[in-house]
């Protein structure tokens, strides 16, 4: 009974998707929200169980691995489940009025979104390399049609680019899994980690799996699908893609390198992966400065912010830096998830009201959408690491780890990335607060934004500031099941 919440966290959104598909959303518009609330309760119980009793395990149907499917939750996966549940509830509350107001087909959106939510939970709970492959494929097969919901040429092209690159990533991942299975005879994460050695066979498998996950997560230089997919998708889908779907791939990169391939994690390998993260931070931030549309700015910001997560691997091999880096990266994943989803939903409000998201067309917007502009400002403040946000605490921990371990290049990247984030954030906010030129009327809203669409992203971004004020519960939970040396 103690672990029943583990399968419920996966099956509740899946069963809700089936119910919505059979009943039709128009006949029961309350069904998605009911499923979201039930999933939140199940996830809250998972978090409680992990906090009180340590890592939790559940074997579906009572079958033990390798024949059965094992669900496993430790502190990291519990935190990711909690973030997904809160962001998922916000997306569910926001999506109804947004999609109806923009004329989207809600009967297509709800099953796709709920299956995607179930798949995200399955990704964070799976303890088997092949089950993770199935979850990754389902993420792709739900994210691509969500990105194409507008049905116009740009969105269809962006969704096709994402689908093709993600499928190539899946093939690379699956080939790496096949190599590991051939060498170890098992697919269970812990067992593979105990059996692999620092040989060429394992190195090739790790390279294929990492490259496949980089393509799935839009890690630089395999990022080319992210910006067009995020900027052309409906706002609720953009929020989920940026805050959750892309991060699921990077979550697996970190989990596999720390739990399955630590034998390969040398100083050289850590620096190689960390260099890709540093390039992502700088490239994404510089590109965000050049974009003419708000959703494009936020999409390139996602490439930059995800790059910070890879800085863990070069620092985790240094004992003096490991714990702070581990805490900082995990906290950054959470803070970015809340802040970025709130930013995309706020951008959705502007697009809903004005009919466009061109930055030059935002002049004088603040009096009309004051709550939305406030939300966007608070989200950007966390991305640029201003106190007392969770983003500030995350980057402070990362910076502390880099300095403690003598890793000065990463410290420079962290500081420079925050400065560049401030530059593109102030560029957007300055235009929103600026007075329009004489006779300039384009900014006047053409459509009133429903109140729930303004308050949901604001409440979401306030969670980031609650994280900045009270961090000990999350950091304490992170110790449960952490790799040796990171507790």
- 125-166 tens-digit pLDDT: 998 899 999 999 999 899 888 888 877 788 888 888 888 888
Please list, residue by residue across 21-38, b when 16 or more beta carbons sit within 10 angstroms of its beta carbon and e when fewer do: beeebeeeeebbeebbeb
- 221-244 tens-digit pLDDT: 888 777 788 777 888 888 888 889
Token representation of residue 432: 């929103």
- 187-211 tens-digit pLDDT: 888 889 888 888 888 999 999 999 9
Rounded Cα distance between 424 and 50, Å, is 39
pLDDT at 1 over 50: no
pLDDT at 334 over 80: yes
C-alpha radius of gyration, the chain, whole number: 21
Contact 279, 417 (CB under 8 A): no
Token representation of residue 253: 């990169």
Q: Between the CA atoms of 98, 462, 56 and 193, what dihedral angle is there, to the nearest 10 degrees? A: 90
442 Cβ contact list (under 8 Å, min separation 6): 354, 361, 436
pLDDT tier at 443, thresholds 50, 70, 90: low
The residue-averaged pLDDT of 328-335 equals 93
How far, CA to CA in Å, does 239 sit from each of 125, 143, 149, 485?
Answer: 22, 11, 14, 34
Residue 322: closest CA among 330, 333, 314: 314
**pLDDT for position 440:** 56
Residue 242: closest CA among 173, 168, 146, 314: 146
pLDDT at 463 over 90: yes
The DSSP bridge partners found for residue 128 are 188
**pLDDT for position 137:** 92
- 79-137 tens-digit pLDDT: 999 999 999 999 999 998 898 888 777 778 899 999 999 999 999 999 889 999 999 99
Burial of 121 (0-12, 13-18, 19+ CB in 10 A): buried
313 Cβ contact list (under 8 Å, min separation 6): 254, 257, 265, 269, 270, 273, 274
For the whole model, what pTM was predicted? 0.92
What SS3 string covers the chain? CCCCHHHHHHHHHHHHHHHHHHHCCCCCCCHHHHHHHHHHHHHHHHHHHHHHHCCEEEEHHHCCCCCCCEEEECHHHHHHHHHHHHHHHHHHHHHHHHHHHHCCCHHHHHHHHHHHHHHHHHHHHECEHHHHHHHHHHHHHHHHHHHCCCCCHHHHHHHHHHHHHHHHHHHHHHHHHHHHHHHHCCCEHHHHHHHCCCCHHHHHHHHHHHHHHHHHHCCCCCCCCHHHHHHHCCHHHHHHHHHHHHHHHHHHHHHHHHHCCHHHCCHHHHHHHHHHHHHHHHHHHHHHHHCCEHHHHHHHHHHHHHHHHHHHHHHHCCHHHHHHHHHHHHHHHHHHHHHHHHHHHHHHHHHHHHCCCEHHHHCCCCCCCHHHHHHHHHHHHHHCCCCCCHHHHHHHHHHHHHHHCCCHHHHHHHHHHHHHHHHHHHHHHHHHHCCCCCCCCCCCCCCCCCHHHHHHHHHHHHHHHHHHHCCHHHHHHHCCCCCCCCC
Please list, residue by residue across 460-482, b when 16 or more beta carbons sit within 10 angstroms of its beta carbon and e when fewer do: bbebbbebbeebeebbebbbbbb
Contact 277, 311 (CB under 8 A): yes
Distance of CA 316 to the CA centre of its chain: 22
pLDDT tier at 64, thresholds 50, 70, 90: confident
């Amino acid at each position: 009974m103690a672990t029943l919440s583990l399968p419920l966290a996966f099956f509740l959104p899946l069963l809700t998707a089936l119910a919505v598909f059979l009943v039709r959303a128009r006949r029961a518009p309350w069904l998605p929200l009911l499923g979201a609330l039930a999933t939140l309760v199940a996830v809250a119980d998972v978090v409680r169980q992990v906090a009180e009793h340590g890592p939790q395990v559940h074997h579906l149907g009572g079958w033990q691995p390798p024949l059965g499917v094992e669900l496993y939750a430790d502190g990291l996966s519990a935190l990711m489940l909690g973030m997904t549940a809160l962001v998922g509830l916000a997306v569910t509350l926001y999506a109804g009025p947004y999609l109806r107001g923009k004329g989207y087909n809600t009967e297509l959106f709800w099953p796709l979104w709920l299956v995607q939510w179930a798949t995200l939970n399955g990704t964070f709970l799976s303890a088997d390399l092949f089950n993770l492959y199935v979850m990754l494929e389902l993420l792709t097969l739900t994210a691509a049609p969500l990105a194409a919901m507008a049905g116009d040429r740009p969105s269809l092209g962006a969704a096709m680019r994402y689908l093709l690159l993600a499928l190539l990533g899946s093939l690379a991942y699956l080939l790496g899994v096949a190599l590991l299975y051939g060498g170890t005879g098992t697919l269970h994460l812990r067992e593979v980690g105990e059996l692999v050695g620092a040989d060429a066979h394992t190195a090739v498998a790790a390279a294929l799996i990492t490259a496949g996950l980089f393509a799935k997560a839009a890690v630089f230089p395999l990022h080319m699908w992210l910006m067009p997919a995020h900027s052309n998708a409906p706002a609720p889908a953009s929020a989920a893609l940026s805050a959750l779907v892309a991060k699921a791939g990077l979550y697996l990169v970190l989990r596999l390198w720390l739990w399955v391939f630590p034998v390969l994690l040398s100083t050289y390998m850590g620096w190689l992966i960390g260099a890709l993260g540093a390039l992502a931070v700088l490239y994404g931030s510089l590109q965000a400065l050049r974009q003419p549309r708000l959703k494009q700015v936020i999409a390139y910001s996602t490439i930059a912010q995800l790059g910070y997560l890879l800085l863990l691997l070069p620092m985790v091999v240094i004992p003096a830096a490991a714990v702070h880096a581990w805490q900082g990266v995990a906290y950054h994943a959470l803070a970015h998830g809340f802040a970025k989803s709130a930013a995309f939903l706020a951008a959705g409000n502007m697009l809903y009201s004005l009919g466009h998201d061109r930055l030059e067309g935002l002049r004088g917007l603040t009096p009309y959408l004051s709550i939305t502009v406030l939300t966007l400002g608070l989200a950007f403040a966390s991305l640029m690491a201003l106190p007392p946000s969770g983003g500030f605490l995350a980057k402070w921990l990362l910076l502390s780890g880099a300095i403690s371990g003598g890793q000065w290049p990463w410290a420079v990247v962290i500081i420079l990335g925050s400065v560049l984030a401030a530059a593109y954030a102030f560029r957007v906010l300055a235009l929103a607060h600026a007075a329009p030129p004489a006779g300039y009327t384009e900014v006047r809203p053409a459509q009133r934004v429903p109140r729930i669409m303004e308050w949901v992203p604001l409440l979401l971004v306030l969670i980031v500031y609650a994280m900045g004020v009270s961090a000990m519960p999350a950091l304490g939970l992170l110790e449960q099941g952490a790799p040796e040396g990171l507790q």
